[in-house]
Amino acid sequence: MIPRLFIEQPLSTGSTIAADERAQHYLRNVMRRSAGDPLVLFNGRDGEFEAEIAAIDKRKAEMKVTRLRRAQDGVLDIILCFAPLKKDAIDFLIEKGTELGAAAFQPVITRRTVASRLNLDRLRANAIEAAEQSERLTVPEIRAPLTLEALLSGWQPSRHMILCAEAGPALPIGEAFKALTARVSCPNTWAIFCGPEGGFHVSELDRLRDLPFVTPVGLGPRILRADTAALTALAVFQAILGDGTLRPPHPMTPFGTGAGGEE
C-alpha cells in the first residue's frame, strides 16, 4: 500500500517538503519506508500529488513532489451539528462522518448534553486520519462548541437544517429528503442536527420546528444511539441529496498504471 498523507505545507510539482513529526513517525516507524519509496500527499487546497521519500532518518524526513495526481475538488457544504458525546462515541462520529463527506463538525451544548469538555486537537487528528484513509481531498473543520442559543443566533437562514427529531411530528427521513429535492429553491448549503444521548428537550424541539429553515425527520421505530442517528442521517442525505451518485477514483492505483493496475 502506498502511504497517503495530509500535510499543511503548499504542494507543487518539483518541490521538496520536510515531513512534520507525525508524518515522519508514520513513514519510518509505522510503515517502515525508505528513501525512494512512493507516497501520496494532499493538503486540502492544491490537489493530490504523487511523491517519493527523498531522505529519511531518525531526526527528519524529506518528501519530493513529483506529479499532480488529482486536481482539487471540494465536498458538499454540509455541517454535522451534534451534542458533544463521550470519548469513544465522538471519536467514532468524527471518523465516520469524515468518511461520509461532512464538511464541518459543530458541537452544540443542549439542555441534556452530558459531555462538556472536548479535545479538539484529538478530534482533528481523527478527522485527518479518516481523510487520509477515505481518499477525500479535504479535511473537515472541527469547530469549537456553541450553546444552542449561540448557534441559532448566528445561523444563516439560507442554510437548511435537517433536524433528527426523536419525538413529535416528522416525515420519515427518505420522504422528507425526496420532498426537498422537488423544491424549486432547494438550498446548496445544509446542516444535520442530532441531539444528545438523552434526546432533545421538548422545548428545544418545539423551538427548532418553528424555524422556517428546519425540516424535522424521523429515523424509524427504533431508538438510535446519538452517534448512530447522526451518521444514519448523513448517509441517507448523501444518497438522496448529496454526492452518493458519484464514484470514487481508483483507490491507491500504483503510479504509472492504468485503472486495472497493470503496467
**Residue 150 and residue 115 in one domain:** yes
**Residue 100 and residue 66 in one domain:** no
CATH of the domain at 163: 3.40.1280.10
Report the percent of the chain where pLDDT is more than 70: 93
Kind of pairing between the strands at 141-142 and 104-109: parallel
Residue 263 lies inside a defined structural domain of this protein:
no
Residue 254 lies inside a defined structural domain of this protein:
no
**Residue 21 and residue 121 in one domain:** no
pLDDT at residue 261, rounded to an integer: 39
**Residue 63 and residue 82 in one domain:** no
Q: Which residue has the higher pLDDT, 258 or 49?
A: 49
Residue ending a domain, choose from 70, 87, 111: 70
Residue 255 lies inside a defined structural domain of this protein:
no
pLDDT digits (tens, 9 = 90+) for 93-134: 999 999 999 999 999 999 999 877 899 999 999 999 999 999
**Residue 28 and residue 92 in one domain:** no
For the chain, what is the domain count? 2
Give the range of the structural domain holding residue 92, as residue numbers without chain letter.
Answer: 77-240
Residue count of the chain: 263
Residue ending a domain, choose from 70, 96, 111: 70
Q: Please, what is the average pLDDT of the chain?
A: 90
pLDDT-derived band at 260, boundaries 50, 70, 90:
very low
CATH of the domain at 54: 2.40.240.20
Q: What does each C-alpha distance from 13 to 10, 69, 74 come to in angstroms?
A: 10, 10, 21
**Residue 13 and residue 140 in one domain:** no
Instruction: Extract the C-alpha cell encoding 161.
Output: 437544517
pTM above 0.95, yes or no: no
pLDDT digits (tens, 9 = 90+) for 204-229: 999 999 999 999 999 999 989 999 99
pLDDT-derived band at 263, boundaries 50, 70, 90:
very low
pLDDT at residue 40, rounded to an integer: 96
Burial letters 42-76, b for 16+ CB under 10 A, else e: bbbebbbbbbbbbebeeeebbbbbbeebeeeeebe
pLDDT at residue 171, rounded to an integer: 93
